[in-house]
Amino acid sequence: MGKVGLQLRATMEGVTGLRPVGEDFRWYLKMKCGSCGEISERWQYIRLMDSVPLKGGRGKASMVQKCRLCSRENSIDILSNTIKPYNAEDSETFKTIVEFECRGLEPVDFQPQAGFAAEGTESRTPFSDINLQEKDWNDYDETLKASVGIYDVTHQFVKC
């Protein structure tokens, strides 16, 4: 299945550099088994800090799991050097913010939650712990005396 890119699209108002923070950031995904087509019902998360060895010395992955329907062992790995911030100039366009190495499965849905950070485009005011679960986020930039926000967050997956 190879590499799959997660593209984000959002309307950025007064903020830039939207990015996941830390090794413990949780990428919430739903996965589809490439063998039988089973799609996980619940959200599963993968994190950079998790590293599981693959059988037969074929490297490691962020998560290894057995499909509950066909029992095939699948894995997905976060490619840490592909993580890119979503900036003010990316506003309203799709941009790949991370790539996953997929073996036997593919992500079919993504839910952003807590753990993002960004900063004021002009003021550089830091905003930490941005939660995008509601697909909209807003705050007030004290330096600029203006409201800032991230709106209409959507995503898509692309083959890399």
- Contact residues for Zn ion (CB under 5 A)? 33, 35-36, 38, 67, 69-70
What is the C-alpha to C-alpha distance for residues 150 and 108, in angstroms, rounded to an integer? 23
Least spacing, CB of residue 83 vs Zn ion, in Å: 28
HEC letters along 8-47: EEEEEECEEEEEECCCCCCEEEEEEECCCCCECCCCEEEC
> Is 14 in contact with 120 (CB distance < 8 Å)?
yes
Least spacing, CB of residue 39 vs Zn ion, in Å: 10
> Is 139 in contact with 14 (CB distance < 8 Å)?
no
What is the C-alpha to C-alpha distance for residues 32 and 35, in angstroms, rounded to an integer? 9
Q: What is the DSSP letter of 56?
A: G
Least spacing, CB of residue 18 vs Zn ion, in Å: 34
Residue the block writes with tokens 């979503």: 86
What is the C-alpha to C-alpha distance for residues 54 and 78, in angstroms, rounded to an integer? 14
Least spacing, CB of residue 138 vs Zn ion, in Å: 41
Q: Which is nearer to Zn ion, 63 or 130 (CB)?
A: 63
Q: Which is nearer to Zn ion, 69 or 108 (CB)?
A: 69
Least spacing, CB of residue 1 vs Zn ion, in Å: 13
Q: Which is nearer to Zn ion, 65 or 125 (CB)?
A: 65
Q: Which is nearer to Zn ion, 70 or 79 (CB)?
A: 70
Q: Which is nearer to Zn ion, 32 or 95 (CB)?
A: 32
